[in-house]
A and B are shown apart, each in its own frame.
Chain A
Amino acid sequence: MKRLSEIFDRFGGVNLLPVLAAVVAFVLIDAPSSWVTLTVAGLAMGMMIFLMASGLSLVFGLMDVLNFGHSAFISFGAFVAASVLAFFGAWLGGDSSFLALIALILSIAAAIAFGLLGGWFFETVIIKPVYKDHLRQILITMGALIVAEQIILAVWGGTPTSVPRPAFLEGSWIIGDVSIEVYRVFAFLLGLIVYVGLYIVLNRTRVGLLIRAGVENREMVECLGFRVDRIFVGVFMVGSALAAMGGAMWAGYQTLISPALGAEMLIIVFIVVIIGGLGSIEGTLLGAILVGLIGNYVGYLAPKLALTSNMVLMMLILLWRPNGLRPIVK
């Protein structure tokens, strides 16, 4: 068993899990074109979930804050982006791809800006008074999530809102008998760019070094002369902006969104950060990709089990690694 574990680690360890899942699915699905479609869909979904979950993971890792209100930013991001896209509807449907691209960028930028401002307000007004008190954190952030849902209901109404997409992101590329949706490739690439950006900030800058150190041992970072609470405000804002960005991407992916979106995504987002290891960005990416891939594969192979696949995956991983796949060193 030890030898098997050593071999597993030598070839990439837990990073291999998505590859293993894809290989097993390839054998079970027995239809390469369907497998490619499901894999691309799973990767795109994984990247969007990563965007939504990464902030939550950092916020918990850095300050031990359990923020159930995190998914409110996913909802707001989705609705703000949908409104901006609807406002520029003529650009999206017109002949100019450039104008459609501008509309898309503006919609994502609006979601990010909302996330940054909302994150600052949320941290200052709701989170700060309940530092170091998990019970009150859960109660107050759950309450904030309910309030956020009601605000969305009041502003956007209770009926599902349709989300227009730019024309250049509609349709699929057909390669042989494989069909790849353009939007899924776009979502995957954007998620990848954000991950690379986060990786560079966390591993190549002083702020990133402080965040990584703070996630491990906040007290010691303060003993070195840094105010972690001030760093935390920035991390919270960026985390909320990423969630809003993920929500905006998800809105475009689903094309129909309802005020319950945040509450629906909350469970998946928490599963991802628990699977990955709280506080670990690499772990969050790994968990998100796994959840995305396995959700799609199981949905195809055994549709009745699709809803439970994430829970089963989390249980199996926690039985194997109680601290998640890529836990941070505490």
Chain B
Amino acid sequence: MNLLSIESMKTNIGQYAVLHDISLVVPEGGVFVLLGRNGAGKTTTLRSIMGLWKPSRGSIRFRNQDISSMHTADIARLGIAFVPENMGIFGGLTVEENLILATAKGSFDNNHLKRVTVLFPALEQFWTKQAWSLSGGQKQMLAIARAIIEPRDLILIDEPTKGLAPSIIDAMTGAFDEIAETTTILLVEQNFQFAKSLGREMAVIDDGRIVHAGSMADFVADRDLQNRLLSLSA
């Protein structure tokens, strides 16, 4: 079953057309990876889904409901979480406050909280510290923890490995595997090694257009295609 489907989406930022023609189907369950070079339109695609930039044409349907003209807050309340590239944590708030803000009732569900602290034990250690004092990896963990502190149907994650140490990326791979058991993830990533270890389905975006879509296994097997679309060297 399709969770999210985008059809002929065009998005302008100011006077510039960034997305020309995006059509994408994200099935329910697992990790869907959106790959592409710098400036190809990956972040704009996520922000358009989230309603932060409104598409000028085309449709975005989530569980068959058109969300393309909805307010960001209403889209979030449908069960879509967003982890932006800059992580979007509130530096002046404590770790606990960052997480509690993401709960619908303003209080933690014990089971969800336990899940988060098992996945990211470091957060418990810094529970009452202001988030600006965390390291880059810890901030990323907090951003992802915030996205899963409540049950969500879809999490949009923008380049979570950017600037992180390899050991933290390894830990994050395990966390993503666990999260993907219950929640669909739409992952934008430039780190192909990380992306291929997680993704089941994938698409490549270039110059604001989807230029390839298919299974990750097929894409990994086709070195020529990788080189052509992502300019990956051997």
Is residue A226 contacting chain B, with contact meaning CB distance below 8 A? yes
Is residue A102 contacting chain B, with contact meaning CB distance below 8 A? no
Are A225 and B90 in contact, with the CB atoms below 8 A? no
Q: Given A206-B106, A209-B97, A210-B101, A222–B72 Cβ distance below 8 Å?
A: yes
- Which residues of A sit under 8 angstroms from B92, Cβ to Cβ? 212, 216, 328-329
Pick out which of these stretches binds chain A: B76-84, B113-121, B180-188, B193-201.
B76-84
Within 8 A of A (CB), among B123-181: 130, 132, 146
Interface centre among A210, A222, A224, A328 (most CB of B within 10 A): A224
Are B106 and A220 in contact, with the CB atoms below 8 A? no
Are B93 and A223 in contact, with the CB atoms below 8 A? no
When C-beta atoms are compared, the residue in chain A nearest to B88 turns out to be A220
Query: Cα distance A223–B88 when bound, in Å?
Result: 10
- Which residues of B sit under 8 angstroms from A222, Cβ to Cβ? 52, 71-73, 76
Which of A209, A212, A226 contacts B73, CB < 8 Å?
A226
- Which residues of B sit under 8 angstroms from A212, Cβ to Cβ? 90, 92-93
Q: How far apart are B104's CB and chain A's nearest CB, in angstroms?
A: 7
Query: Cα distance A69–B2 when bound, in Å?
Result: 51
Is residue B50 contacting chain A, with contact meaning CB distance below 8 A? yes
Within 8 A of B (CB), among A192-212: 206, 209-210, 212
Query: Cα distance A216–B76 when bound, in Å?
Result: 19
Are B88 and A225 in contact, with the CB atoms below 8 A? no
Is residue A268 contacting chain B, with contact meaning CB distance below 8 A? no
Are A225 and B91 in contact, with the CB atoms below 8 A? no
Are B84 and A329 in contact, with the CB atoms below 8 A? no
- Which residues of A sit under 8 angstroms from B229, Cβ to Cβ? none
- Which residues of B sit under 8 angstroms from A228, Cβ to Cβ? 73
When C-beta atoms are compared, the residue in chain A nearest to B156 turns out to be A223
- Which residues of A sit under 8 angstroms from B106, Cβ to Cβ? 206
Chain A 220-240 interface mask (CB, 8 Å, partner B; 1/0): 111111111000000000000
When C-beta atoms are compared, the residue in chain A nearest to B146 turns out to be A224
When C-beta atoms are compared, the residue in chain B nearest to A206 turns out to be B106
Query: Cα distance A220–B85 when bound, in Å?
Result: 12
Are A220 and B76 in contact, with the CB atoms below 8 A? no
Q: How far apart are A242's CB and chain B's nearest CB, in angstroms?
A: 21
Within 8 A of A (CB), among B54-112: 71-73, 76-77, 81-82, 84, 88-93, 97, 100-102, 104, 106
Which of B52, B71, B132 contacts A227, CB < 8 Å?
B71
Are A329 and B82 in contact, with the CB atoms below 8 A? no
Q: Given A209-B100, A213-B101, A223–B76 Cβ distance below 8 Å?
A: yes
- Which residues of B sit under 8 angstroms from A328, Cβ to Cβ? 92
Q: How far apart are A240's CB and chain B's nearest CB, in angstroms?
A: 24
Query: Cα distance A212–B102 when bound, in Å?
Result: 14
| Number of chain A interface residues as a range | 20 to 34
Interface centre among B72, B82, B90, B106 (most CB of A within 10 A): B90
When C-beta atoms are compared, the residue in chain A nearest to B92 turns out to be A329
Is residue A162 contacting chain B, with contact meaning CB distance below 8 A? no
Query: Cα distance A272–B140 when bound, in Å?
Result: 35
- Which residues of B sit under 8 angstroms from A226, Cβ to Cβ? 73
Q: Given A209-B97, A210-B101, A224-B101, A216–B90 Cβ distance below 8 Å?
A: yes
Q: How far apart are A109's CB and chain B's nearest CB, in angstroms?
A: 31
Q: Given A220-B88, A329-B91, A227–B73 Cβ distance below 8 Å?
A: yes
Interface centre among B72, B88, B102 (most CB of A within 10 A): B72
Are A220 and B71 in contact, with the CB atoms below 8 A? no
Are B52 and A224 in contact, with the CB atoms below 8 A? no
Query: Cα distance A225–B51 when bound, in Å?
Result: 12
- Which residues of B sit under 8 angstroms from A161, Cβ to Cβ? none
Within 8 A of B (CB), among A276-330: 328-330
- Which residues of B sit under 8 angstroms from A330, Cβ to Cβ? 91
Query: Hey, which bits of chain B sit against chain A, CB under 8 A?
Result: 50, 52, 71-73, 76-77, 81-82, 84, 88-93, 97, 100-102, 104, 106, 130, 132, 146
Q: List 25 A-B contacts (CB under 8 A).
A: A209-B97, A212-B92, A213-B90, A213-B97, A213-B101, A217-B88, A217-B90, A219-B52, A220-B84, A220-B88, A220-B89, A220-B90, A221-B101, A222-B52, A223-B50, A223-B72, A223-B81, A223-B84, A225-B77, A225-B104, A227-B71, A228-B73, A328-B92, A329-B90, A329-B91
Would you list the 9 A-B pairs with minimal beta carbon distance, nearest first? A329-B91, A220-B88, A225-B76, A329-B92, A222-B72, A225-B77, A223-B82, A213-B90, A206-B106
